Structure 1
Amino acid sequence: MRTDISTSDISLDDDKALHHWNGVIHGVLSHGQATGDHLAALTTQAPDFAMGHAMKGLACLMLGRRELFDAAQAASDAATRALSLGGATARERLWCQALQDWLAGAPSQSIARMEEAMRLNPADTISMKLSHGIRFMLGDNHGMLRSVDRVIGAHDHSHPLYGYALGCRAFALEEVGRYDEAEQTGRRGLDFARDDAWGLHAVAHVYDMTHMTEQGIALIDGFPDAWSHCNNFRFHVWWHKALLHLDQGDIATVLDLYDTKIRDEKTDDYRDFSNASSLLVRLELEGVDVGDRWVELATLAAKRSDDGCLTFADMHYMLALMGDTDSGAAGRLTARMAQSAQIDDDIGRVMQSPGLALSHGLECFGEADYATAFAQLHAAQPHFQAMGGSHAQRDVFERLTIEAGLRAGRIDDTERLILARTALRGGHEDSFAAARMGQIAQMRRAQAVSTAAE
């Protein structure tokens, strides 16, 4: 039996089909623009290759769009028909089961299928990447590291995908706060895979979390091979660059990156949307007038607020709606989330917590009811991790919680949140934390003067 570039047995016996499957693997690992073309060619060249249909279905679900569930189900049906013809490997059958699990509301079980595939062959990099990606969406940062560490020993210099495996490990290390190891691992990975956008972005995360802004900007500028070939993931890399410039107080560059890179293509992909909405909130919290940039985001958010696929996505839609006190769109999103929270599956449970409290808190923040906003956001904050995404992505909600606390006069509680946020960053105080700690000091001095005058 033949093998693919993940060094795993594959039922494909056609050279062209195998070429395209390898192109899919490389594309998924490198976030390459050509991935979709390879997948379309694969399913045309080998319509009875069940794993190709499973990949298509899983990719649809990862996009977090309600209208793509039908496409994912159709892909699952095609995979089932292909399996009935016989000849599929155990790994291929596991991938088809993973798709069925997610369609049934259990992406956590999809992870288990990928882990089983990795037990069949620890050098199966693409199954590791899928486990890694789904865990990321479910907020399982420690599971990401355990998963990669179980198989990293099967990847060495001779493995064609070694650099990408290191990139995944670097990101997992960063998300559990092992910043020095993450930086070293990510940079080593780039030595073997210069087009690894995920590995590059893992190191950018390190520099964001540790307030090493110059190093982060230089990294992104110095490795264009890692993002120039990318699909929309390149917008996310530029978002990271904007965060680094924001930490430096370089607002002009941040706005330029927003207009010419991050939001140059006004897609409604939730990942692109989250880049944009979270960046505008960060700017406004620093007192920046962002002009009419919210208009197109609010229009898109109102259209997408019924998705209910991912709490992470919904809450970024809410960022664009929370200041709109006239249309009622924010209230409708919270009400829809309450309905989704009644469903007892992986997604519904996150909608329940932290989703409901977070949604209500953001809505109240937009209405300038800061006391209620803080109460709700503070209750949700210990559970933010469950939303998925990264520390850097979820930090917009940390900032809003802190800001609500300051505006509500909850000085002690807010200070504890700031100190915990800085501790998560290895003790590195960024400009946001420094400014808010300065504000707290001023508030305490004012209180002391007021008390002395009584």
Structure 2
Amino acid sequence: MAQIDCFGQPTTIGSVAGLEAWNATQMAFMAHGAATPDHLAATLAADPDFALAHAVKGMFLLLLGRRELVPTAREAADHARTAAVRIPVSAREAAFIDALHLWLDGAPSKAVASLDQVQLAAPDDALAMKIGHALRFVLGDAQGMRRAVEQVLPAYGDDHPARGYLMGCHAFALEETGEYGLAAAAGSAALALSPDDAWGLHAVAHVYDMIGEPQKGLRWLNGKEAAWSHCNNFRYHVWWHKALMHLDIGETETVLHLYDTLIRADQTDDYRDISNATSLLMRLELDGIDVGHRWDELAETSAARTDDGSLIFADLHYLLALIGGRREVAAATLVARIAADGARGASEMDMRMASPGAAAARALEAFGEGEYRAAFAGLSKARRHMQLAGGSHAQRDVFERLTIDAGLRAGRLTDTLAILNDRTARRAGRDDQFARTRRAMIADCAAPLRVPAE
């Protein structure tokens, strides 16, 4: 007999203890809680034949973007199929299992479609919503994130325990599709309903980044540390946002302190942590700030990840670390492997290795070697498709900054100004400190070319 979980969904879990652990797993996952894997382990310990938990375990592993975890994800998929034979599962649970296999087969977009089918039948299924949102984020599908959330919003009443988390997802999707005012309102409402909703809180931080209001962003984050202190490594990302705000107002000592004590205090090799660190150090260096030896450990860690190939977003940030740490051989190895994966074209991720990956990788390598014309040409080509690398506008902005600075250094002032203007247009028409500084540089460079008035 099916038991009803905390979101009102029938499940084939076999024990009360297992259901309690499963509910704890789901609630922790909604909040990006560090305890999520512990609750999931307790679920499977209580009910080893709970097929849905095995499938979700596999998807959690794939979201980590690490090649060495793929075999373990395949084991989870096999366990899910075997368990579903022992204890017949619902169509809903079968769709999760199918989604995992599709993802493992190199078709994450089809995996998302399988989860969408779950939500068509049960629009209040918060687990399908949140996993689908996470996977669309990896795929860079901002419009899909928004569409999927807005289709199910009416099904989440005020008493639905995941309503706050859904609104946090809505806030992020609104921000990524340029609706900054609506995003800020949705994120604030999300946090009011679910005070541990770090995703909704961070969506509002994104808004202040995009509209160039760092002081307001700091006021939003200050005092709300409890909303992200319980998180897994996502907490480092929220501190990263805070550092970006301090950087935009010129408080570089504070930025470096946050980097050393919070953002990179745990020197993990998780690609999300690497991306936080490398993109922040690169922003600092582009602004002329000496970051000392901080590149060294990032380069050492990234040199061990050159053969990963799970996500182009991860690979490009590993490459930034290798460039910053002057690891030319490892950088060349990584660039060659990205090109080879792109040429293979066996999966959706391979296609992203081809575009925007290959052009962006070669261009970043050229930037590190001081070949700014080639860097600007390659980055300009890649930027048209950079959304496909996944991540957020704020995360991908490091590549925009590198493109603009490559253009400046190559003397491509007119083309650089056009990119700068396009960047500003997508940021609510407002210049941040980076843009203001580069506009001044362009004006200074162009001044000697003007004909004096007679």
- Compute the TM-score of the two structures, normalised by the length of structure 1: 0.98
CA distance in 2, matches of 1:72, 1:348: 19
1:109-120 alignment, distance < 5 Å: 109-120=110-121
Q: 1:162 to 1:69 in 2, by over 3 A?
A: same
CA distance in 1, matches of 2:141, 2:251: 33
CA distance in 2, matches of 1:334, 1:387: 15
C-alpha displacement of 1:323: 4.4
Q: Tell me whether 1:328 sits opposite 2:319 in the alignment.
A: no
SS in 2 for 1:33: coil
CA distance in 1, matches of 2:216, 2:5: 37
Counterpart of 1:345 in structure 2 is 347
Counterpart of 1:66 in structure 2 is 67
CA distance in 1, matches of 2:246, 2:266: 21
Counterpart of 1:27 in structure 2 is 28
Counterpart of 1:57 in structure 2 is 58
SS in 2 for 1:389: coil
Asked whether the equivalents of residues 141 and 175 of structure 1 are also in contact (C-alpha less than 8 Å), the reply is yes
SS in 2 for 1:268: coil
CA distance in 2, matches of 1:69, 1:406: 42
1:152-167 alignment, distance < 5 Å: 152-167=153-168
Asked whether the equivalents of residues 187 and 203 of structure 1 are also in contact (C-alpha less than 8 Å), the reply is yes
Unpaired stretches in structure 2, ≥5 consecutive residues: none
SS in 1 for 2:222: helix
Counterpart of 1:286 in structure 2 is 287
Amino acid at match of 1:330: A
CA distance in 2, matches of 1:121, 1:247: 44
CA distance in 1, matches of 2:105, 2:41: 25
C-alpha displacement of 1:225: 2.2
Asked whether the equivalents of residues 209 and 425 of structure 1 are also in contact (C-alpha less than 8 Å), the reply is yes
Of residues 9-18 and 246-255 in structure 1, the stretch that sits farther from structure 2 once superposed is 9-18
Counterpart of 2:375 in structure 1 is 373
C-alpha displacement of 1:222: 2.4
CA distance in 2, matches of 1:256, 1:63: 27
CA distance in 2, matches of 1:374, 1:6: 50
C-alpha displacement of 1:28: 1.1
Asked whether the equivalents of residues 324 and 330 of structure 1 are also in contact (C-alpha less than 8 Å), the reply is no
Counterpart of 2:105 in structure 1 is 104
RMSD: 1.2
Counterpart of 2:421 in structure 1 is 419
Amino acid at match of 1:380: A
CA distance in 2, matches of 1:419, 1:435: 13
Counterpart of 1:248 in structure 2 is 249
Q: Deviations over 1:6-65 (max 9, x none)?
A: 221111241111111111111111011110110111111111001100111101111010
1:224-303 alignment, distance < 5 Å: 224-303=225-304
Amino acid at match of 1:16: A
Counterpart of 2:206 in structure 1 is 205
C-alpha displacement of 1:326: 5.9
CA distance in 1, matches of 2:211, 2:90: 45
Q: Tell me whether 1:143 sits opposite 2:144 in the alignment.
A: yes
C-alpha displacement of 1:322: 2.0
C-alpha displacement of 1:324: 5.4
Identity of aligned residues (%): 50
400, 403, 406: which one aligns with 2:405:
403
SS in 1 for 2:304: helix
Unpaired stretches in structure 1, ≥5 consecutive residues: none
Counterpart of 1:17 in structure 2 is 18
358, 361, 364: which one aligns with 1:362:
364
Q: Deviations over 1:199-230 (max 9, x none)?
A: 00001100111111122112222212210111
CA distance in 1, matches of 2:442, 2:51: 59
CA distance in 2, matches of 1:321, 1:396: 15
- Compute the TM-score of the two structures, normalised by the length of structure 2: 0.98
CA distance in 1, matches of 2:365, 2:312: 15
SS in 2 for 1:360: helix
Q: Deviations over 1:222-271 (max 9, x none)?
A: 21221011111100000000001111110010000000000000000000
CA distance in 2, matches of 1:156, 1:402: 46
Counterpart of 2:82 in structure 1 is 81
440, 444, 448: which one aligns with 1:442:
444
